[in-house]
Amino acid sequence: MARRVVPIAAAGRPRPATLPALPTLSLYVHVPWCLRKCPYCDFNSHEARDGIPEQAYLAALIADLEQSLPAVWGRPVTSVFIGGGTPSLMSAETVDALLAAVRARLTLLPGAEITLEANPGTAEAGRFADYRSAGVNRLSLGVQSFNPRHLAALGRIHDAGEARRAVELALEHFDNVNLDLMYALPGQTLEEARADIREAAALGTPHLSAYHLTLEPNTAFHRAPPPLPDADLAARMQDAVEETLAWHGYGHYEVSAFARPGEECRHNLNYWLFGDYLGIGAGAHGKLSTPDGIRRESRPRQPRAYLRAAESGQAAEAAQAVAAADLPFEFMMNALRLTAGVPARLFSERTGLALAAIAPQLAAARARGLLEESAERLAPSALGRRFLNDLLQLFLPDGRSMHS
């Protein structure tokens, strides 16, 4: 039976939401170790100076999953994403055991997208065939650049030759491969950025992610900023990335994501469509809906603390309900990353709030030319895509700032 959609409260603020239906569910698995922490990285990653405790961590992940089952019981899972850190530090046998445990406990749909992140070091690339046999059907390679100078500046442990060889090996074993690239790198010129994206496109992977390097808090680059291209040059690099990939037949379907037709990342699309995701592993976050609202949960960030928590039956830290006043911004922060936006009805379906609850914000966004003039879709204009933070700021609750 469909549940009601909540209208605007009398005081002009949305009441607590009830959802018409539960959204699509994905599973995210975090592996927190890497060989060396990159100076730009703000993810929950820890250098594996003495190796990684694979068996203990596998047991913790399975315990975490079992402890989470009551919250997701019976719901089909459409995708699995094993991220990090560097998940490809794990053996194929561990990945196989993990996926077997997932299949035994969750309803993993036939043909579900199962992604593993990997760094293109030679030793890891040699495992690609075994990862495919274990059930991984999508590989995401953190190449970042093919320029030796820029790889060194980014602290990457692979060289350009290893990156090219890893892509070749990946395409031998996987139909679905993503390359992660970055631009606006320290000392990078426009032609160097264009050369990187041209080489990536020429390699022929069906999906490419191209990220503008940003200086995130709590990173080495934030503490000691390197010389970066100015805003105008970075904008020209972004234009060059978009033009080059369009010429090679890639659709620009999300702020930083490009794909051949039909090869969009299903797992990430679920995030951007404000779907649900269960997150297990050290520092993992999750978003889970119930008929009465949405809650977010997290796991301890430090691997040792996570191992202890999972062993004691308390892998998930206290869940936090998402306040109705925060839902418009949370929804738009995801949905407006998509170039084509989303159907307008999805706002009510995924938040439980009537679209009228954000009518003033929608009007303001359209008046500033940041949102398309459409009653059927919520989609950023070309200007809105370029100034996405300005667009999103309009949906924050009163008195809040994206920088606060």
d(CA 13, CA 9) in angstroms, rounded, equals 5
Amino acid 379 reads A
> First and final CA of the chain: distance in angstroms?
40
Residue 49 banded pLDDT, cuts 50, 70, 90: confident
> Can you count the helices (H) and strands (E) in the chain?
16, 16
Does residue 332 sit in helix, strand or coil?
helix
CA angle 69, 72, 74 (to 5 degrees): 95
The domain limits of the chain are 1-21+324-404, 25-270
According to the model, what pLDDT value does residue 123 have? Answer: 61
Neighbouring C-beta atoms of residue 308, cutoff 10 Å: 14
Q: What burial class does residue 223 get, using C-beta atoms within 10 Å of its C-beta: 0-12 exposed, 13-18 middle, 19+ buried?
A: exposed
**Tens of pLDDT along 100-126?**
999 999 999 999 999 999 998 756 677
Q: What is the pLDDT of residue 17?
A: 54
Assign 11 a pLDDT band (cuts: 50, 70, 90).
very low
Distances 229 to 73, 185, 226, 239, 249 between C-alpha atoms, Å:
49, 7, 10, 14, 28
Residue 361 CA to residue 370 CA, distance in Å, equals: 11
**pTM of model > 0.95:** no
Of 233-247, 260-274, 290-304, least confident by mean pLDDT is 290-304
| Among the listed residues 361, 359, 347, the one whose alpha carbon sits nearest the alpha carbon of residue 400 | 361
pLDDT at 399: 55
Name 156's Cβ contacts closer than 8 Å, sequence gap at least 6.
38, 119, 144, 145
Task: Say how many C-beta atoms besides its own lie within 10 A of residue 120's C-beta.
Answer: 26
Q: Enter the tokens of residue 269.
A: 């699309």
Dihedral sign for Cα atoms in the order 200, 205, 211, 217:
negative
Record the tokens describing residue 330, joined without a space.
């949370």
Residues in CB range of 4: below 8 A, 6 or more apart: 18
Q: Which CATH class is domain 1-21+324-404?
A: mainly alpha
Average pLDDT over residues 303-322: 94
Q: What are the pLDDT digits (tens) for 179-237?
A: 999 999 999 999 999 999 999 999 999 999 999 999 999 899 999 999 999 999 999 99
CATH class of 25-270: alpha beta
- The tokens describing 305, both together, are 């603390």
- CA 201 vs. chain centroid, Å, equals 21
CA distances from 158 to 72, 106, 174, 184, 306 (A): 39, 36, 21, 20, 29
The rounded distance, in Å, linking the Cα atoms of 309 and 218 is 25
d(CA 259, CA 245): 9
* Residue 83 amino acid letter: G
Task: Quote the pLDDT of residue 296.
Answer: 96
Distance CA 197, CA 181 (A): 8
pLDDT mean over 41-66: 93
pLDDT band at 19 (very low <50, low <70, confident <90, very high): confident
Q: What's the CA gap between 38 and 182, in Å, rounded?
A: 13
| Mean per-residue pLDDT over the chain, rounded | 92
Query: Phi and psi for 231 in degrees, rounded to 5?
Result: -60, -40
Residue 214 and residue 211: Cα distance in Å, rounded? 9
Rounded mean pLDDT of 46-56?
90
**What is the structure's pLDDT at 2?**
33
3-state secondary structure (DSSP) of residue 38: coil
